[in-house]
Copies of this chain bind each other. A is one copy, B any other.
Amino acid sequence: MKFAMIGLGKMGLNLVKNAADNKHEVVAFDLNADFVKAATDYSDLVTPATDIDDMLAKLPSPKVVWVMVPAGVPTNSTIDTLIEKMDKGDIIIDGGNSNYKDNLEQNLRTTAAGIKFFDAGTSGGMEGARSHGNFMIGGDDAQAWKTIEPLFASISEEDGYLYTGKLGSGHYLKMVHNGIEYGQMQAIAEGFEVLEASQFDYDYEAVAKLWNHGSVIRGWLMELMEDAFSKDPHLDNLAGRMHASGEGQWTIEEGLDLQVPTPVIALSLMMRYRSMQDDTFTGKVVAALRNEFGGHAVDKN
């Protein structure tokens, strides 16, 4: 099928290549012309667009547009523009890491306009996007889903896509997926930190490899650790700063709103935030208290 991709960054470009490999025609648009060129250079099946109007003009009806720009304001304003410019029966796919609450609000407007709206969470990283993605897609119109299902079927890992039901359920599932991911990563990391502090002397690459061959905790994240340790056996080149994007936080906030405890996901995120701090006011307060009541020595700045 023929569709448009807006946003040709790390994920978008890989998806375009993946689609072209699978014989889909793609109209490619990005505010950065170099990115557009990189996409069109890849395959004759990829056509450039100079702006959104141009992009839409190059699509047959019903037009299918996949939005793959950064989550938040960029995605939301892109969708606003598309709602204005697209017609009844057309299809918008939000493929970013959007907050499902934004999608629910947008869905009121797409529904009013007769536009079919899908929220597609994407997992599997850049490598997955390139050749075997993992997609969880929500949307109220199960009929319109049939139109785009062949696209997802062709670019995903086998059994690697799922129509999850109502609009919002795709990004919601991706949000929870990322919450689980945060917890799993922190669990793995705490384990290796205990090993590193221990009296024993382990070969971490060998350990990760071992754990990937028959252990209970085998999985892709552990495979990635094997790879990482093969390149830097003690990760000496890295600073332990754990950046975070929004989904982990949303999962915790969702848990709070539902009054469901998520202690492990919460602590995973909080330890990330802690890793971004060089010193903490919390620490100063506790140090001050210990000094006040016990005369305990404090470390001076």
Q: Which of B200, B216, B289 contacts A172 (CB 8 A)?
A: B200
Chain A 207-265 residues near chain B, CB threshold 8 A? 207, 209-222, 224-225, 227-228, 232, 235-243, 249, 251-256, 258-265
Q: Which of B210, B227, B284, B285 contacts A136 (CB 8 A)?
A: B210
Closest Cβ of chain B to A299, distance in Å, is 4
Closest Cβ of chain B to A300, distance in Å, is 6
Known: A215-B124, A271-B263, A276-B259. A193 touches B281 (CB 8 A): yes
List A residues at the B interface (Cβ < 8 Å).
10, 123-128, 132-134, 136, 138, 156-162, 164-166, 168-169, 172-173, 176-177, 179-202, 206-207, 209-222, 224-225, 227-228, 232, 235-243, 249, 251-256, 258-276, 279-301
Residues of B near A202 (CB, < 8 A) are 164-165, 169, 173
A-B contacts besides A173-B202, A275-B282, 5 pairs, CB < 8 Å: A123-B217, A160-B214, A160-B215, A162-B206, A275-B280
Interface of A is mostly: helix
Q: Which of B209, B237, B240, B270 contacts A282 (CB 8 A)?
A: B240
How far is A289 from B189 in the complex, measured between Cα atoms in Å?
A: 9
